[in-house]
Amino acid sequence: MKYFDSTVISQSRLTDDIYVLVAERNGADAHAGQFFMLKAWEHELTLMRPISIFKADEHTLHFMYRVVGQGTRKLSGLKAGDPISLLGALGTGYPLDQAAGRVALVGGGLGIPPLCQTAKELTAKGVLVDAYLGYRDDLFAMEEFEPHCANIFASTEVGEEGYRGYITDLLTPEKYDAVYTCGPEVMMRKVAALCAEQKTPCWCSMEHRMACGIGACLGCSIKTADGMKRVCKEGPVFPANILFQQ
């Protein structure tokens, strides 16, 4: 983890409100499921913004985010060459050291981006990866999964493409050694329940408002079966069985 001045390399707009910001990595570590705190202001805004790692290349970090408020709106206005402060990599990501065999990645909406880096790291370890990507309407980032996945399943709730319905309808946990999920809590609960039925280990990535991002402020603490946990430190990835009681 380090706090450093970086530079924006590019900014692209994927949909109406989803952007990808690429910044210089400056030697920071970055692993599947971790996140960075981003800041492109001095005192106009108080808090940095936590954004997951979409992709990490040797010299660059890619962040995919949706514009939801003042902070992400400011981020979306950045252009190549603009300065940006980064703090990270933060948190505990997916347990890749335990991964083997076949793993399913189940993402919903803006829970999809962190699974891209996860697919890449799993594949590099020789794990066979299937991606289940749930969208509301427009598809995005699917092509990023192609080099790293054996199979990709997509669904839209109201869109034209893919399976019409929820991505959890397509998931068959019994085929996998582990399932990693990230997305709306209602979706992750469903994934966790399906995995519990089949006794397939499942890990979920949680989202929470936070102030410091490093475990000091306790702004992102959540109650789990294993006591209070900080989403920014012990998480954002947790074993499903301590988050959701089956």
Partner 1 sequence: MDLSTTINGIRFKNPIVAASGTFGFGDEYNELYDVSCLGGISSKGLTWIPKEGNEGIRVYETASGMMNSVGLQNPGVRAFVEEGVAKMRRFDTVLIANMGGSCIDDYVAGAELLSNADIDMLELNISCPNVKSGGMAFGLKANVAREVVAAVREVCRKPLIVKLSPNAEDIVEMALACEEAGADSLSLVNTFQALAIDIHRRKPVFNNVYAGLSGPAIKPIALRMVHAVCKRVNVPVFGIGGIATAEDALEFIMAGATAVQVGTANFNDPLAGQRIVNDLQTLCEKEGITRWEEVRGCL
Element (H, E) at 197: helix 185-198
Cis status of the peptide bond prior to 216, with omega within 30 of 0:
no
Q: With binding defined as CB under 8 A, does residue 243 bind partner 1?
A: no
Rounded-to-integer distance, Cα 141 and Cα 31, Å: 19
Strand partners, 136: none
3 touches partner 1 by CB under 8 A: yes
The stretch near partner 1 (CB under 8 A) out of 76-84, 144-152, 219-227, 238-246 is 219-227
Query: How many Cβ atoms sit within 10 Å of the Cβ of residue 55?
Result: 20
β-strand partners of 20: 12, 64
Q: Which stretch binds partner 1 (CB under 8 A): 42-50, 108-116, 143-151, 169-177?
A: 42-50
Tokens encoding 188: 């992750």
Residue of the chain from 7, 12, 70, 98 that contacts partner 1 (CB under 8 A): 70
Q: Is residue 221 a contact residue for partner 1 (CB under 8 A)?
A: yes
Out of 169, 217, 239, 242, the residue judged to bind partner 1 by CB under 8 A: 217
Task: Tell whether residue 47 is a contact of partner 1 (CB under 8 A).
Answer: yes
Q: Does 239 bind partner 1 (CB under 8 A)?
A: no
Residue 2 near partner 1 by CB under 8 A: yes
Closest CB 227 distance from partner 1, rounded Å: 8
Of the candidate residues 84, 212, 237, 240, the single one contacting partner 1 (CB under 8 A): 212
For residue 85 the two structure tokens come to 């402060």
Size of the site for partner 1 (CB under 8 A): 27
Nearer to partner 1, 85 or 198 (CB): 85
DSSP 118-159: HHHHHHHTT-EEEEEEEESSS--SHHHHGGG-SEEEEEESSS
- Residue 209 binds partner 1 (CB under 8 A): yes
CA 140, CA 161: separation in Å to the nearest integer? 11
Least Å from the CB of residue 217 to partner 1: 6
Could you say whether residue 87 binds partner 1 (CB under 8 A)?
Answer: yes
∠ Cα 17 135 150 (to 5°) = 120
Report the residue number, 67 or 100, with the smaller CB distance to partner 1: 67
Report d(CA 64, CA 138) in Å as an integer.
15
- Position 214 contacts partner 1 (CB under 8 A): yes
- Min dist CB 245 to partner 1, Å, is 16
What does the alpha-carbon distance between residue 117 and residue 46 come to, in Å, rounded to a whole number?
29
Question: By the criterion CB under 8 A, which residues form the site for partner 1?
Answer: 1-3, 39, 43, 45-48, 70-71, 87, 209-212, 214-221, 223, 228, 233
